[in-house]
Structure 1
Amino acid sequence: MRPLLQLRPREPRLWFGGGRLRVSFSPLILFSFPYVRSLTPLCDAELGSEASRAAEASRVEAQRLKEEAEASRAEALRWKEKAEACQVETRRWEQKAKESEAEVTRAAEASSAVQTVLETEIGEHEALKRAALSTCEALEVEGVQSGSSLGSRLIALSSQMRERLRGALHTGVKRALAVISSHYVGVDLPAISDGYVLPDDDEEADAAVTKLMEAAEGPGTALATLFEEEVVPPLPSAGAEGPEP
C-alpha cells in the first residue's frame, strides 16, 4: 500500500527581517523530527557565519566612520588655524593702514609748513632783489639791469661799494692834507704821506696811535662833516618805492 502523501520537504530558507536573521521551514518539515534534528547544526553554523560577517562588516564600517570623523576633525582644526592666521594678518594690515594714514597726515602737515616757509622765503627773496636793484640804481652801479639775478646784482654792488669806499678814503686823505697845507705853510706833505712817526717799541707805538686817534676824534668828525656831500650819496626820498625787478 502506497503512502497517502509522499512529499519531499523543502530546504529551510534563511532571510533577514527586523534586523535579525530568520529561518522559515516548510510545514511538512515540522512533522519530520529527524530532519529537523539534522538541520539544527546547519542552521546554527549558517547563523554564526552570517552573524560574524555582519559583525565584521559593522566593525569595518565603524572603523571607516571613525577615520572619517578624525579626518573631518583634523580638517576643521586646519581651517580653524587658517582662520586665526587670517585674523592675525588682517589685524596686522589694519595696524599698518592706521600707521600709513598717520604718516600721510604728518607728511601733509609738514608739506603745508614747508610750503608756508617757502612762500615766505620767496617773498623775502623778491624783496631783497628789489632792494638790491634799488641800491644799485641809487649808487649808479654799472652793469646791472632789471632782469639780472640777485647774485649778479650783489656782486656788482659789492665791487661798486669797494670802489666807492676806496674813493672815499682817498678823497678824505687828500682833503685832510689840503686842509693842513692851508693852515700851515711849508708843511712837508711827502713826509706826512709816509704815515705816523712812532717809537720803535710796538707797545709804545700802539699807545701813541691810540692817543693821537683820541685827540683827532672830535676835530676829525667836524672836518669829515664838511666833505660828506662830496663823498656820501643822498638818501632816497621816504615815499620812493623800489623799482620792479
Structure 2
Amino acid sequence: MKLFMQDLAINMAEFTHESTENQEEEELQEEEIYLGTEEDPRPTFISALLKESLKSELIALLQEFRDCFAWHYHEMPGLDRELVEHKLPIKEGYLSVKQARKRMSMDTELKVKEEIERLLKAGFIRPAIDADWLANIVPVLKRKTGAVRICVDYRNLKEASPKDEYPMPMADMLVDGVAPNQMLSFMDGNTGYNQIMVAEGDIHKTAFMCLGHTGAFEYTVMPFGLRNVGATY
C-alpha cells in the first residue's frame, strides 16, 4: 500500500509537470471567435482541432443563440426570489463582528474602486446603512486579463453560520453519464453566484468596507466566500 501511494505521488508529480509544460500548447489549440460587433466584440473560444464543417456549424449555432449568453453585469437580471434566494442564519450564541480595516497598495485600490463602481451600477451591491457585520475586501488579480476580482473576508460570518449538508453532485457519475456522447461542451456560468439574490433580511450581514470609498457596501446578490453558497447554487 505504501509503495502504491509513493508511485501515485510520483505519477501525480509527473502529470502536474507535464500539464505545466503543455499549458501554452493547449492555449494555442483554442480559437477565439467574436459574436458581437466591433464596439462590443463578445469573444468566446472553441477548439481549433474541430473539423471545418463542424466548426462552421458550431459558430452558426452560437451566433443564432448569442442572446442567451451574457458578457456584462447589466445583462443578468437575476433569478426570481420565489425560485431561490440565499439565507444567512446565525448559530445561537454568536455575536456580530466588525473587522479591523486593512490596507492595500494604491494600484490595487484604484482597480478595486473601478470594480466597486461596476458592481454598484449593476445593482449587485448597495451602500450599507446599518452594518452589524463588517468585513474587509480581499482583492484577487486575474492573471489572464489583469482585472481584479472583489472577494470579501467572510471568515467570521462563515464561522457563525450553520452548515447546509446538501449533497454535491459526484464528478465521476456526471462523466459516466455523458460517456456515450460524441461531443462534450462546457458552459461557464458568468458570475453565476451573482444571479441568486440574498434574502432581504440577511443583506446587512454581507457588509464590507472599501478603501477609496466613504462608508460601506452590502451585497444584494450572493457573493463568493459565504458558507453554503455552493449548496444554494
TM over 0.5: no
Whichever structure has more helix as a proportion of its residues is 1
State the structure with more CA Rg.
1
Instruction: Compare relative contact order (CA 8 Å, sep 6+) and give the higher one, 1 or 2.
Output: 2
TM-score normalized by the length of structure 2? 0.17
- With structure 1 as the length reference, what TM-score do the two structures score? 0.16
